[in-house]
Structure 1
Amino acid sequence: MQLTFDADVERFRAEFAAFLDEHLPDEAVAKERSRSSSDVPEWARRWQRLQFDEGWLLPGNPPEFGGRDATLVQQYVHLAELSRRRIYHSFNPQGVGIVAASLLSFGTEEQKHRWAVPILRAEITASLGMSEPGAGSDLASLRTRAVRDGAEFVVNGQKVWTSGAHDADVLLTFVRTDPDAPKHKGISVLMIPTGTPGVTRRPFGSLIARDDLDFNEVFFTDARVPLENLIGPLNEGWRVANGSLGHERTLLWLSFADRMDEFLHDFTPRGPLDRDAYATAVMDAHALRLLGSTALARASRGEEDTASISVLKLLGSEAVQAAAERALSSAGPEGLAHPARTAPYTHLHLESFGGSWFERYARSFAGTIAGGTSEIQRTIIAERVLGLPRS
């Protein structure tokens, strides 16, 4: 395996690095922080808009949508450079990475320019309305209904875990439009402005973020949505969902690899047990990057390898969780309170993976749930890699 990049890829990386060196907002300008994953401070809107205009927001997109038709490997080094410097390219990650990407894949030209471009230019923000109290990883079990009434859909139901919904302008919402069809067949996707009468957003805290609210319950009570807000064909929402999550998952393993690197940076082995835990984390980190590089190479050749994404998601999320658990155990009672992070963060840097080792361990469960639970990933691997029967 060749773990180096061609000269054109390195030129691409150097050009992006030079852009960052020249244009990063200075700390005095960027004091205001985001309140949620759909709240973008004004300075961050200007920063995102500059990246869009220069083709650095999502380099794989065509220029009119904030990119420069970059190859998959170039997109990887773009993310790697952001990760190495630990900076955001957007403070509305779901809006840019999933909602706008889904609009570009499945929306009409009018919808792309009505919603995708404003999201990418940080003129509006967006959240993803997928999960429900009884439909998390099993999206096909969703019950939020949309019934056609003339030129509108009437929507009733509830979403939950909708990150940033209370600050979002629009929700990409998955609804059931044919209750008599097989559960994978009767789903559609609507773009619903959050100011629509009948839409109620209720933020709530979590074990880690009790005051800094991001999660939401969203209730739809006879909310009327124009037919023109349908994204993709009627009753073809399952295909849109797979495409939406595909945008999220393609290079998802990189975020887990970065967290493993952060863990290794912060964890100092002290005794035999600590050294064993540290060595295990080192091996997991190397395995994740090597398998990720293999999957990247396959994808860059146009080879479809859905199973490898599940393997990487499962390995990455559980490696992070196991590393945090071992570190917490090694730290003993001090791990409940004392900060584990040693490197400083500046204005544009990503939020730390946690504060204390306990907080890191608690946060790690999100990685084994969001984007498809570990149980779901094991099912995919069993069926598509090992060829085991569905029963």
Structure 2
Amino acid sequence: MRLSFDASVEEFRAAFAAFLDEHMPGEAEASERARSSSDVPEWARRWQRLQFDHGWLLPGNPPEYGGRDATLVQQYVHLEELSRRRIYHSFNPQGVGIVAASLLSFGTGEQKRRWAIPILRAELTASLGMSEPGAGSDLASLRTRAVRDGDHFVVNGQKVWTSGAHDADVLLTFVRTDPDAPKHQGISVLLIPTDTPGVTRRPFPSVIGADDLDFNEVFFSDARVPAENLVGPLNEGWKVANGSLGHERTLLWLSFAERLDELIRDFRPAGPPAADAYATAVMDAHALRLLGSTALARASRGEEDVASISVLKLLGSEAVQKAAERALSSAGAEGLVHPASTAPYTHMHLESFSGSWFERYTRSFAGTIAGGTSEIQRNVIAERVLGLPRR
């Protein structure tokens, strides 16, 4: 079987490649590193704004929102070209890919003008306030409360794992507004500026090390938020949540495929066990791309297939983790040293592709948690593919 695209899609790819060749920042310009996923250096803001102005930031969007009404397959080759060159289109991925996208789907015209466009143009950065200490994979168990008081909501509670919150200008925050409703029906969504009195952000390091400060605890203590910052209808935040994660998951499998490709390029198997691990990673990469291409074809025909997204997310995230673990085991003590790569790393490159085998392995756990844990994906597959009873 030969996987290929028609002439119009390849013309689209060629146009984007030409844009990258002409405009992509050079190494000298891109010398300043981002501190977190909501910290965008000035050169990266210019880069994101340039893509927005030329319709290449999110090509599936209308032109007024940084796109060119691209088809799903065209969006795929756009991401494929970015992945192939291993570069970011935004240093605030959750702001552009989830928060702004959610506002375009559920926000008012004023919210799109005031918040979505500035986020897309890198004039503001945004983080996603979903998870809580007792509500991670089970988002509907969230306890952060928002009580209406005149033309404001008063918010009290806590979020955790909020990536980049200490550098963000605004949080898309999921709160409980009806404590008496069934847990999926009493949730609403608020845009909360991070300079609001009563909002406290505390970054903390990950397992990678003390210098890796992206995660945050966020505390709300009688924070007053204008009622006009309600996104979507009151108590219907579950629909916004599904839409927010849908923006994140649609082509997520492609990032796992590229990570597998990168691991395979740097893997130097020594001995039969390592050779078996290498061969397994290669087969997993091929399987992921073939299954992903099938799902892409269905989606391009307008067919909704939530289960296939779960299968791809589960396969991709766990294949990356297993490949990194086996490479680390094969490398032994050398796994603590940054390996020589087949391509140079620059400040534009995706950092999750680089580092020692130990760093790659520890980072791989994010893939099996973020966007829906492996356990949740297995539940979805059990119910929607195998027809097993809900537990």
Name the residue aligned to 2:148: 148
Name the residue aligned to 1:294: 294
Name the residue aligned to 1:115: 115
Name the residue aligned to 1:126: 126
Judge conservation of contact 2:205–2:215 (CA < 8 Å) in 1.
Answer: yes
Name the residue aligned to 2:283: 283
CA distance, structure 2, for counterparts of residue 77 and residue 163 of structure 1: 27
The one-letter code sitting in structure 2 at the alignment partner of 1:137 is S
Judge conservation of contact 1:341–1:355 (CA < 8 Å) in 2.
Answer: no
Indicate the larger mover: 268-277 or 186-195: 268-277
Displacement after TM superposition at 1:369 (Å): 0.5
Judge conservation of contact 2:190–2:231 (CA < 8 Å) in 1.
Answer: yes
Name the residue aligned to 1:223: 223
Judge conservation of contact 2:269–2:275 (CA < 8 Å) in 1.
Answer: yes
Give the secondary structure class of the aligned counterpart of 2:210: coil
Name the residue aligned to 1:338: 337
Judge conservation of contact 1:63–1:69 (CA < 8 Å) in 2.
Answer: yes
Q: Does 1:241 align with 2:254?
A: no
Displacement after TM superposition at 1:340 (Å): 2.8
CA distance, structure 1, for counterparts of residue 287 and residue 219 of structure 2: 43
Name the residue aligned to 2:321: 321
Deviations, residues 95-129 of structure 1 (Å, cap 9, x unaligned): 00000000000001111111000000000000000
The one-letter code sitting in structure 2 at the alignment partner of 1:247 is H
Residues 1-391 of structure 1: pairs in structure 2 closer than 5 A: 2-335=2-335, 337-342=336-341, 343-391=343-391
Indicate the larger mover: 168-177 or 24-33: 24-33
Give the secondary structure class of the aligned counterpart of 2:213: coil
Judge conservation of contact 1:341–1:352 (CA < 8 Å) in 2.
Answer: no
Give the secondary structure class of the aligned counterpart of 1:190: strand
CA distance, structure 2, for counterparts of residue 165 and residue 338 of structure 1: 31
Displacement after TM superposition at 1:352 (Å): 4.1
Deviations, residues 158-214 of structure 1 (Å, cap 9, x unaligned): 000000000000000000000000000000000000000000000000110421311
Deviations, residues 336-367 of structure 1 (Å, cap 9, x unaligned): x2223523212311114342211111111111
Sort the Cα spacing of 1:341 and 1:201 in 2 relative to 1 into closer, same or farther, 3 A.
farther
Give the secondary structure class of the aligned counterpart of 2:116: helix
The one-letter code sitting in structure 1 at the alignment partner of 2:325 is E
Give the secondary structure class of the aligned counterpart of 2:37: coil
The one-letter code sitting in structure 1 at the alignment partner of 2:222 is D
Give the secondary structure class of the aligned counterpart of 1:240: helix
How many percent identity over aligned positions? 86
Sort the Cα spacing of 1:354 and 1:22 in 2 relative to 1 into closer, same or farther, 3 A.
closer
CA distance, structure 2, for counterparts of residue 344 and residue 184 of structure 1: 47
Deviations, residues 221-256 of structure 1 (Å, cap 9, x unaligned): 000001100000000000000000000000000110
CA distance, structure 1, for counterparts of residue 27 and residue 327 of structure 2: 33
CA distance, structure 2, for counterparts of residue 331 and residue 348 of structure 1: 27
The one-letter code sitting in structure 1 at the alignment partner of 2:337 is H
Deviations, residues 16-62 of structure 1 (Å, cap 9, x unaligned): 00001111122222211111000011111111101000000000000
Indicate the larger mover: 215-224 or 340-349: 340-349
The one-letter code sitting in structure 2 at the alignment partner of 1:135 is A
Judge conservation of contact 1:146–1:154 (CA < 8 Å) in 2.
Answer: yes
Judge conservation of contact 1:266–1:340 (CA < 8 Å) in 2.
Answer: yes
Judge conservation of contact 1:354–1:363 (CA < 8 Å) in 2.
Answer: no
Unmatched 5+ residue regions in structure 1? none
Q: How many residue pairs were aligned?
A: 390
Unmatched 5+ residue regions in structure 2? none
- When normalised by structure 1's length, the TM-score is 0.98
Displacement after TM superposition at 1:334 (Å): 2.4
- When normalised by structure 2's length, the TM-score is 0.98
Displacement after TM superposition at 1:2 (Å): 5.0
Give the secondary structure class of the aligned counterpart of 1:188: strand
